Structure formats: structure tokens, C-alpha cells
Amino acid sequence: MKDARTSFEALVPWAGLVIGVVAAAFVHQFGSDGTFDHCETLAPIPIIVVAVVGLLATLGSGLISWRSVRSADQTRRVVAIISVGMALFFAFAILLPIIAAALIPPCFQ
């Protein structure tokens, strides 16, 4: 049981980076497929909902990484700070499609 806990604690500083990139990629892919393949039926409400869920996941993972910044280990601290910064960057990248889906009409060409 202690090995699993140690493995989890080793991955905590990476949470913002890993979950942020996965959430941003998923939101981008869902929005791209929804806009180009099914723009009449899939825009904008489902795209906004998926983007908000991805945004919350990214910000939550950044918060998880932020909690490990006060670690005694210098390496974990550096990884956590970079991970928090990347989570904020990915949150900004997810926020832009939310604004675009809300303002640009579906099937805009």
C-alpha cells in the first residue's frame, strides 16, 4: 500500500501538465469535429459544455500541482511550478474556443 501512495505522490507535481494537455487536446478535437462535421446539430451548447468541463479539469489539476509547490524537494518544486504555469496556459487555450463558440454563429463560413 505504501508503494502506491509513494507513486501517487511522485505524480502529483505533474498533474497540471498531464491533465491540462489531455483536456486541451480533447476540447480542441471535440470542437473541431463538432464544428466541421456536424455544425448544425452540435454547435454551440455541447461544445461550450465540453470546454467548460475541460477548463475545470485543467484548473483543478493546476491546483493539485500548486499544493506540491511547498515540497521540500527542489526538483518536485520546479516541476510543480512549471506544471501550474502550463495548466494556466492550457486554461487560456480552452477559454478562447468558449468565447468563439458563444460569439460566432454555427456553420459560419
- For residue 22, the surrounding DSSP H or E stretch is helix 15-37
pLDDT tens-digit series, residues 63-93: 999 998 887 788 889 999 999 999 999 999 9
Are the C-beta atoms of residues 78 and 17 closer than 8 Å to each other? no
- Per-residue pLDDT band for 18 (boundaries 50, 70, 90) equals very high
Judge residue 106's burial from the number of C-beta atoms within 10 Å of its C-beta, 0-12 exposed, 13-18 middle, 19 or more buried: middle
Task: Quote the domain boundaries for residue 76.
Answer: 2-103
**Is 108 inside any structural domain?**
no
**Is 94 inside any structural domain?**
yes
**Is 58 inside any structural domain?**
yes
**Is 32 inside any structural domain?**
yes
pLDDT at 102: 84
**Is 28 inside any structural domain?**
yes
The C-alpha atoms of residue 28 and residue 17 are separated, in whole angstroms, by: 16
Give the pTM. Answer: 0.85
Lowest mean pLDDT among 3-7, 21-25, 27-31, 73-77: 3-7
pLDDT at 90: 97
Instruction: List Cβ neighbours of 59 (8 Å cut-off, separation of 6 or more).
Output: 87, 91
Candidates 44, 38, 25, 40; CA nearest to 94 is: 25
**Is 85 inside any structural domain?**
yes
* 109: pLDDT strictly greater than 50: no
| Residues 2-16, mean pLDDT to the nearest whole number | 80
Cα of first residue to Cα of last residue in the chain, in angstroms, is: 56
